[in-house]
A and B are shown apart, each in its own frame.
Chain A
Amino acid sequence: MPDSIVTPEMQELIGREVDEGVAEVTTSGCRLFARAVGHSDPVFYDEDIARARGYRSLVAPPGYLGTPVNTQTRGGMVPVPALIAQLRIPYKRHLDGGTAYEYLEAVVAGDVVTSRSKITRFEERLGSIGPMLITYHETAYARQDGTVVAKMYGNVIHY
């Protein structure tokens, strides 16, 4: 195992919350996302059906609070949290290691969500692709009324 690449400055970032910005959940965005996944439930496409089922508008499909929102708030071409993107990591390549979502309330078109993210842990490992750094992160998504409606837990692997 080579020497640790986690600097004291990186350690200090653990737990520091950063506002990532605001993103809108839109009817077009929900439909586009549902179509890309291949969803067949009209609750993601037809507002009348969504309302008949008790929602204010189209339902955001599972994972919409996730990449589409993160890419709106983070900018750039790859949805890595800004906190992680700015780290000075000597490894050039990265992969998404995993994602989990927790939903506290249904998320629907018309919601405007503010994302707050933090790094929770660094882990170094020697894998089949060589030495790697795994950075664990969390994002909380709050609706315009302040209610946290969802959380995302993920990790990015640099190697």
Chain B
Amino acid sequence: MPLNTTQVTFDDVNVGDEIPALRKACTTQQLVMWAGASGDFYQIHYDPDFARGTGLDGIIVHGALKNAFLGQLLHDWIAPAGFLRRFGCQYRGMDYPNQEIVSRGVVTRKYEEDGQALVDLDIWTENAAGKKTTPGTATVVLPRG
């Protein structure tokens, strides 16, 4: 995905705005890359027999990888001058390899605190059926326009 070529500023943003979505479809190869990069080698993310043995339907995408997608969603929106203050999500639903995962965000509040221009967002990933599998929230610091 190309980065924004123009800097988003505090003055540009309005409550209710949707930020540009980030689309992914994890291959099993990406799950293995994530396992190596993160150090999380829990077998439910690469060994189908092991995953089924724990009661799952098959390999599932790491929750922390979906969280990292939300981190990329926010980073790409606020770069280069914004600062990601806080972000996180709950892992409420499973995502499986080779199915589209779309990361989205909507502005819920803009305000100033300690001289910084802050924006709160609801963020989430949704699966191909449109179900929100990782609802969460974020706060970013934006430069003034």
Size range of the chain A interface in the assembly? 35 or more
B111 contacts A by Cβ under 8 Å: no
Interface string of A94-119 (1 = CB under 8 A from B): 01111111110010000000000000
Closest to A159 in B: B55
A77 contacts B by Cβ under 8 Å: yes
CB of A71, distance to nearest CB on chain B (Å): 3
Task: Report whether B63 and A96 are in contact in the complex, using a CB–CB cutoff of 8 Å.
Answer: yes
Q: A103-B85, A129-B55 are in contact. Are A41 and B3 (CB under 8 A)?
A: yes
Report the bound CA distance from A61 to B63 in whole Å. Answer: 16
Task: Report whether B91 and A37 are in contact in the complex, using a CB–CB cutoff of 8 Å.
Answer: no
Report the bound CA distance from A67 to B93 in whole Å. Answer: 20
A43 contacts B by Cβ under 8 Å: yes
If A33-B37, A36-B33 are given as contacts, then 7 extra A-B residue pairs at C-beta distance below 8 Å, sorted by A number, are A36-B30, A62-B74, A79-B38, A79-B40, A96-B63, A98-B88, A98-B90
Q: Which of B38, B72, B74 contacts A71 (CB 8 A)?
A: B38
- Chain A residues 56-110 with CB under 8 Å of chain B are 61-63, 66-68, 70-72, 77-79, 93, 95-103, 106
Report the bound CA distance from A62 to B122 in whole Å. Answer: 17
Instruction: Kindly list the 7 A-B residue pairs having the minimum CB-CB distance in the complex, ordered from nearest.
Output: A100-B88, A62-B71, A71-B39, A36-B37, A98-B90, A67-B38, A36-B33
Task: Report whether A61 and B68 are in contact in the complex, using a CB–CB cutoff of 8 Å.
Answer: yes
Closest to B88 in A: A100
Q: Which of B41, B64, B83 contacts A96 (CB 8 A)?
A: B64
